[in-house]
Amino acid sequence: MPIKIFDICGTLYNSNTTLDFCEWIEKRPFNKMILKVFKSYPVKILNKLLMKIFHFDFIRALHIKSLKGMTLNEIESQVNFFVQRVLNQKKILEVHTLFQQIERTDVILVSATIEPIAKAVAHELNVKQYYATTLWYDKDKYCTGKIDRDILGQKHLLFKNEEIDLIVTDNKSDYKLCLKAKQVVIVSKKKNLAFWKSKNLNIHRVIEI
C-alpha cells in the first residue's frame, strides 16, 4: 500500500520540537539560560559550520543531555503537556489542512525529533505509525542524555522497499527520501526555495512559511 509521510518539526509545527521541549521542561535557571543561549542566531550559525566539518549537531546534543536522569515515564508525561500547551499553538495551518484531507491509515510520521515527542504527536493526530530518534536509557530506565538511534539524515534507509505516494517535509536532509516519492510537498522559508527548485523532484506544491 502506498504510504504518505509527514515530517513533524518545521512541517506540521513551526518548532524544532526537541530543542523547544528541552528548554520548556528545564527548571534549573542556569541550565535554562544556557539552552536559550545555544538557540541564539550566532550559535546556530557556528553550529551549522561545525556540522559540516564533524557531521554532529552540538546544539541538539546539548539539549538532549539536559534530559539526563529523567525516566521515560517522566519524559512522556511532560511531553503530553508540551504538545497541548506549546505545539498546538505552533501549528502550520496549511499543512494541517492538507493532513486532514488524508486517510489516517495511510500516514506515517517520520521525524528526527525524540521518540516521546513523535509518540505524543501521533496520538494527538490519531496516527498509528511513526519513526523517530530514540533516546538511550540505562538499565534502571533513566535517560542517559544520549541518543540510542538517530534517524537525522537517514530517513530514506527506513523505506528502501516501500512505495511512497507523498512526502511532506521542510528538511533539506530529507532530499534522498523525497527522490523516492511520487509527489513532494515542500514546506519552506523563502531563502530555501532555490535549494528545492534546483533538485530533480516531483514537487506537487510549495507551502511557504
Average pLDDT over residues 20-47: 91
pLDDT at 83 over 90: yes
Whether the CB-CB separation of 64 and 146 falls below 8 Å is answered with: yes
What pLDDT, in 10s, does the model give residues 12-28? 999 999 999 999 999 99
pTM: 0.93
**pLDDT tens per residue across span 50-68:** 888 888 899 999 999 999 9
User: Domains in the chain: how many in total?
Assistant: 1
What CATH number does residue 127 fall under?
A: 3.40.50.1000
Tell me which residue range forms the domain holding 93. Answer: 3-208
In this prediction, residue 159 carries a pLDDT of 92
- E strands in the chain: 3-6, 107-114, 129-137, 143-149, 164-169, 181-188, 203-208
User: Cα 41 to chain center, whole Å?
Assistant: 19
pLDDT at res. 48: 86
What's the mean pLDDT when you consider all of the chain? Answer: 94
